[in-house]
Chain A
Amino acid sequence: MTERRVAITGLGVVTASGLGIEELFGSLLAGRPSVKRIDLFDPSSFPCQVAAQLDGFSARPYVPKSYRKAVKVMARDIEIAVAAAYLGVRDSGIVTTGLDGGTPDVDSSRLGCNIGAGLICADLNELGAAVNTSVTDGKFDMGKWGREGMNNLTPLWLLKYLPNMLACHVTIIHAAKGPSNTITCGEVSGHLAAGEAARTVARGAADVAIAGGAESKVNPMGLLRQTLLGRVNTGSNDSPGRACRPFDAGHGGTVIGEGGGLLILEDLQRAQGRNGRIYAELAGFGAACDPEGVNYLKPNVGRLDGAVAAALKDANIQPDQVDLVIPCGTGVPGEDAAEAEALRRALGPRADTVPVAPLAGAFGNLFAGAGGVALAVAAMTLHKQTIPPAVNFETPAEGCELTVCTEATPARLRYALCTGFGVGGQSAALVLKRYQE
């Protein structure tokens, strides 16, 4: 069965380095890091006190007036997804019910949604206020909680934290009634969601899909978990902007960012038919895993070489045709080295020369949000034919001898490869292709 070609026609990104693709890409070209001391909570007793926060962010401006009430039952991860979806739809020129004014021009039943999400952290102040009504002699009292304490939580409390609520709110706002999914597969969730959504459009089950991921781990639990895993940089609290240094000799761990990216994927013929702007085509997707990933205290990139090989095969290209890699590039030393090794295994000699553009140095590691943003940046890079520079890369770490771009570089770019992996040993790779009429 022949598959349809899939165009990327809208880029919705929410990162500490910019809201919307123009703002983000401009910030990346300028080489500015957005990592700062955390002030969403007081992190003074945490070994790592820096993150890439969305300062002053709220989903309210991105929600139709009739739906604003619902913002109060959105966890931050949901707010990020809702904003990214709005920005993506607006950027695409497609009109949905999510934009105030205008007549929707997309068939709801043919509009799909596929969003990668993380383990959403409860708002500790909200939950703590309820929990502390059920304390006897300084200890939590389950009997009291069951009788009355739990009534201090809003009835919809659970619905703030179900991971599919990102997609739920987005589908309601944009009347996306087609195929829908939520991927919760750690840091590779956004990559997998975008790849799967592209397949949905390619096989004709949907004509348009909102796809990618969003997450915020900038909260005490998220930071604690990554710290316990030994992944965050604890040595750069005095120089936050330099904390996340993927593949650089000075890399000392990752830095949490909050954010997300949702792409508008569209049947190429539909996009052409409406004269939509086509940033790139999503031409290949592959996924793999590593049985060793369960030993999660050791660095593991989820057999990324296998995912890359599958994605190249799916796109029907050879390693020497890859013009750019946007890697996962977490800045965790063992992971950087393992990712570089996986690229060498999958790309052969091309791994030494292909330009590599890690993004986490600028806006941190976005976890489930990473894939959508990386793909959006890759699409913009193909569209603009300019590679954004890596922030905080000076000399390669041992084993990480890749060609990392340190300046904004105009280049002839046809194929871009995006890679992702996560703690636990799953990986994914996607190939974007420059669109030329």
Chain B
Amino acid sequence: MRRRVVITGMGCVTPLGHDVNSTWEALLRGDSGMAPVTIFNASTFPASFCAEVKNFQLPQPLAAGGKHQHAGRHTRFTLAAAMEAWQASGLGESGHFDPDRTGMYLGSGEGSLDFDNFTSLLVDAWAGNRLNTVRWGELAFGRMNVHRETEQEGNMVVAHLAAEFGLRGPAFNSLTACAASTQAVGEASLLIRRGDAEAMLSGGAHSMIHPYGVTGFTRLTALSTRNDQMQTASRPFDMTRDGFVLGEGASILILEEYELARRRGAKMLAEVIGYGSSADAFRITDQDPQGEGAAAGMRAALADAGVGIDQIDYISAHGTSTAQNDSVETMGIKAVFGQRAYQVPVSSMKGSIGHLIAAAGATEMITCVLALRDQVIPPTANYRVPDPECDLDYVPNQPRKAKLETVMSNSFGFGGQNDTLIIRRI
């Protein structure tokens, strides 16, 4: 009998709200998180809007004291999300908290570059056709700051969470692009299942809303450029979709071994029963066109959960609103579910909230837990024009009441990384 893993707390900071409830309510209302970029002046960029976290400040208990004074933007989001999750779980105050047996597995992205200083150095040390590294070095040590540089490292969010909550257990960070935090929740569950930890803070964080992040996605032609219709620009599975809308944020879940949660009388929100991971191994720019990689991840999760396709009541799609992802994901679902694919509701919240990149999967996992709690499926916003290649039930525009016991969540990353989680009502 393997150990069971349950979710006992959740927290998030997203373009739709600074906590779980406000994000969920906005999502069910079909609100849009999109607005012109304010983090830098993107007015001349092909895509000049995005889904920023708005008016966010680190809540006071976290902002006080020196521990997090240098924390970067995505780390601040994560601290607030983790505090919400931690308090909701009650683990810290329960008398059952063992710091050595409590770890972290995050899918957090790199921190934001110190753009102005970094870029001014490229200009000021430029010697015609190449960088004069001697000049660069002379200038850089005066301009660059140890905290701004170090806080960009992938393990820094983990470091701040450990400091805040006094965690001493296993600590990992995965960065498999847009699949990272789904992967993190899956791998964290495996650590608990195996007995390597009894509780894990898991989830993800990312902000790529900075000039080079937006540049990178623009050059890949991955972003929607509907500047004049930004509220409806992200339209997963719709025929007229033209790219994703870049978002940012953080989501954290508290995962616990079932017996620990039971012993301490914790409120169990859902059980993580299946996780699967695969690689397309196809091309650096394209997904496997038949959706075989996506299908392999879903099949692995089903096998891990020991459930059949008939038991999946809802699929939270990756559904980015790019031409390729949404049709490939549809094909993958059909490859796994066969005729059943047409009966399972599938929705993507990215129409409302945008694409939170490394933080996307954990945010979607939170909405899956809430879907189980409220027995309601969050809609795919901005779905108007059916695409013959995307012919499933995408729960367009309106939330839908449904009987939900077991749900699946997909995440796919650039580079062909596929991850799927399955959770069950408890």
Interface, chain A (partner B; CB < 8 A): 1, 41-46, 70, 73, 108-109, 113, 117-119, 122, 124-125, 127-129, 131-132, 135, 138-140, 142-147, 150-151, 153-159, 161-165, 167-169, 171-172, 174-186, 188-189, 192, 196, 199, 203, 205, 220, 224-225, 227-229, 286-294, 296-297, 302-303, 306, 310, 422-426
Q: Are B162 and A178 in contact (CB under 8 A)?
A: no
Which of A42, A113, A162: most chain B Cβ within 10 A? A162
- Chain B, residue nearest A186 (CB): B155
Q: Knowing A119-B153, A157-B216 touch, does A127 contact B122 (C-beta < 8 A)?
A: yes
Q: Which residues from chain B contact A192 at a C-beta distance below 8 Å?
A: 172
Q: Knowing A124-B136, A132-B123 touch, does A294 contact B216 (C-beta < 8 A)?
A: no
Q: Are B417 and A164 in contact (CB under 8 A)?
A: yes
In the complex, whether B190 has a CB less than 8 A from a CB of chain A is yes
Q: Are A150 and B123 in contact (CB under 8 A)?
A: no
Q: Are B281 and A176 in contact (CB under 8 A)?
A: yes
Q: Which residues from chain A contact B162 at a C-beta distance below 8 Å?
A: 289-291, 293-294, 425
Q: Are A289 and B220 in contact (CB under 8 A)?
A: no
Specify which of B146, B277, B414 is in contact with A159 (CB 8 Å cutoff). B414
Q: Knowing A131-B122, A146-B42 touch, does A225 contact B149 (C-beta < 8 A)?
A: yes
Q: What's the Cα separation between A307 and B35 when bound, in Å?
A: 46
Q: What's the Cα separation between A303 and B103 when bound, in Å?
A: 12
Q: Are A43 and B137 in contact (CB under 8 A)?
A: yes
Binary interface encoding of chain B residues 288-309 relative to chain A, with 1 for a CB under 8 A from any of its CBs, else 0 = 0000010010001000000000
**Measured between C-beta atoms, what is the minimum distance from B279 to chain A in Å?**
4
Q: Are B137 and A423 in contact (CB under 8 A)?
A: no
Specify which of B144, B175, B194, B279 is in contact with A178 (CB 8 Å cutoff). B279
Q: Knowing A180-B417, A291-B166 touch, does A228 contact B133 (C-beta < 8 A)?
A: no
The 10 closest A-B pairs by CB, nearest first: A158-B216, A184-B154, A168-B415, A146-B44, A45-B137, A289-B171, A287-B170, A180-B279, A228-B146, A146-B45
Q: Are A150 and B219 in contact (CB under 8 A)?
A: yes
**Measured between C-beta atoms, what is the minimum distance from A350 to chain B in Å?**
22
Q: Are A228 and B144 in contact (CB under 8 A)?
A: yes
Binary interface encoding of chain B residues 32-72 relative to chain A, with 1 for a CB under 8 A from any of its CBs, else 0 = 00000000111111101000000000000000000100000
Q: What's the Cα separation between A273 and B171 when bound, in Å?
A: 36
SS class, residues of chain B in contact with chain A: mixed
Q: Are B281 and A156 in contact (CB under 8 A)?
A: no
Q: Are B129 and A177 in contact (CB under 8 A)?
A: no
- Chain B, residue nearest A302 (CB): B171
Q: What's the Cα separation between A158 and B413 when bound, in Å?
A: 13
Q: Are B44 and A143 in contact (CB under 8 A)?
A: yes
Specify which of A43, A181, A294, A297 is in contact with B159 (CB 8 Å cutoff). A294
Q: Which residues from chain B contact A174 at a C-beta distance below 8 Å?
A: 281
- Chain A, residue nearest B171 (CB): A289
Specify which of A288, A302, A424 is in contact with B156 (CB 8 Å cutoff). A424
Q: Knowing A127-B122, A175-B281, A181-B183 touch, does A156 contact B300 (C-beta < 8 A)?
A: no
In the complex, whether B93 has a CB less than 8 A from a CB of chain A is no
Q: What's the Cα separation between A164 and B176 when bound, in Å?
A: 5
Q: Which residues from chain A contact B132 at a C-beta distance below 8 Å?
A: 42
In the complex, whether B196 has a CB less than 8 A from a CB of chain A is yes
Q: Are A425 and B219 in contact (CB under 8 A)?
A: no
Q: Which residues from chain B contact A288 at a C-beta distance below 8 Å?
A: 100, 103, 168-171
Q: Are B126 and A228 in contact (CB under 8 A)?
A: no
**Measured between C-beta atoms, what is the minimum distance from A228 to chain B in Å?**
4
Q: What's the Cα separation between A46 and B138 when bound, in Å?
A: 8
**Measured between C-beta atoms, what is the minimum distance from B348 to chain A in Å?**
22
Q: List 11 A-B contacts (CB under 8 A).
A: A45-B137, A109-B278, A159-B284, A164-B415, A177-B278, A180-B176, A180-B277, A184-B155, A224-B141, A228-B145, A424-B150
Q: Are A294 and B163 in contact (CB under 8 A)?
A: yes
Which of A113, A139, A179, A225: most chain B Cβ within 10 A? A179
**Measured between C-beta atoms, what is the minimum distance from A431 to chain B in Å?**
14
Q: Knowing A150-B219, A163-B175, A310-B196 touch, does A138 contact B110 (C-beta < 8 A)?
A: no
- Chain A, residue nearest B130 (CB): A125
In the complex, whether B73 has a CB less than 8 A from a CB of chain A is no
Q: Which residues from chain A contact B413 at a C-beta distance below 8 Å?
A: 164
Q: Are B150 and A303 in contact (CB under 8 A)?
A: no
In the complex, whether B339 has a CB less than 8 A from a CB of chain A is no
In the complex, whether B340 has a CB less than 8 A from a CB of chain A is no
Q: Which residues from chain A contact B172 at a C-beta distance below 8 Å?
A: 183, 185, 192, 196, 287, 426
**Measured between C-beta atoms, what is the minimum distance from A150 to chain B in Å?**
5
Q: Are A157 and B219 in contact (CB under 8 A)?
A: yes
Q: Which residues from chain B contact A142 at a C-beta distance below 8 Å?
A: 40-42, 44, 211
In the complex, whether B131 has a CB less than 8 A from a CB of chain A is yes
- Chain A, residue nearest B292 (CB): A177
Q: Are A181 and B194 in contact (CB under 8 A)?
A: no
In the complex, whether B2 has a CB less than 8 A from a CB of chain A is yes
**Measured between C-beta atoms, what is the minimum distance from A261 to chain B in Å?**
19
**Measured between C-beta atoms, what is the minimum distance from A39 to chain B in Å?**
11
Apart from A156-B220, A164-B413, what are 10 other A-B pairs with CB-CB below 8 Å? Answer: A45-B137, A70-B284, A119-B152, A151-B219, A171-B281, A180-B277, A183-B173, A186-B155, A199-B194, A424-B156
Q: Are A289 and B123 in contact (CB under 8 A)?
A: no
In the complex, whether B187 has a CB less than 8 A from a CB of chain A is yes
**Measured between C-beta atoms, what is the minimum distance from B277 to chain A in Å?**
4
Q: What's the Cα separation between A109 and B170 when bound, in Å?
A: 28
- Chain B, residue nearest A180 (CB): B279
Specify which of A128, A177, A225, A227 is in contact with B279 (CB 8 Å cutoff). A177
* Residues 265-284 (chain B) with a chain A CB within 8 angstroms: 276-284
Q: What's the Cα separation between A132 and B130 when bound, in Å?
A: 10
Specify which of B45, B126, B140, B167 is in contact with A291 (CB 8 Å cutoff). B167
Q: Are B129 and A167 in contact (CB under 8 A)?
A: no
Q: Are A291 and B163 in contact (CB under 8 A)?
A: yes
Q: Which residues from chain A contact B173 at a C-beta distance below 8 Å?
A: 183-185
Q: Which residues from chain A contact B221 at a C-beta distance below 8 Å?
A: 155
Q: What's the Cα separation between A186 and B149 when bound, in Å?
A: 13
Q: What's the Cα separation between A177 and B99 when bound, in Å?
A: 36
Q: Are B130 and A128 in contact (CB under 8 A)?
A: yes
- Chain A, residue nearest B222 (CB): A158
In the complex, whether B87 has a CB less than 8 A from a CB of chain A is no
